Amino acid sequence: MNRDDIIRMARETGFVNLSDQYWDCTTECIERFAALVAADERDRIADEAKYEKWVGLDLEEIDEAIAGNITITDPNLRDGVYGAIVDLELLLKEKNTAEQI
């Protein structure tokens, strides 16, 4: 929420702008303003919560994906592929959660 949002909400709830620094309002205006700010904050938190849960692959799902899509006879190569996928999954999770801040 920025300054313009606050001013818009103040006007919407009945505040009267007397000058650049002074506003006039009633107790009811303050209560409506507080309710509007609280609702805006709840909406912001709800929007952020949509991205809080990372839905990625667990180790068993990675195993199944490799087994179902890649035939690797060399155990070292299989371990390398498995490690690369696990590393990519961790990087994606890190990126996904870092962008929420």
pLDDT digits (tens, 9 = 90+) for 76-86: 787 888 788 88
> pLDDT digits over 4-48, tens only?
998 999 999 999 999 888 999 999 999 999 999 999 888 888 777
Which is more confidently placed, 30 or 70? 30
pLDDT at 98: 65
Q: How many C-beta atoms surround the C-beta of residue 25 within 10 A?
A: 15
What one-character DSSP code corresponds to residue 1? -
> pLDDT digits over 86-99, tens only?
888 888 877 776 65
Are 82 and 63 contacting, i.e. CB atoms less than 8 angstroms apart?
yes
Q: Could you tell me if residue 14 is left (phi over 0), alpha (psi between -120 and 50 degrees) or otherwise beta? A: left
pLDDT at 55: 66
Query: Alpha-carbon distance 82 to 74, whole Å?
Result: 12
pTM of the model: 0.48
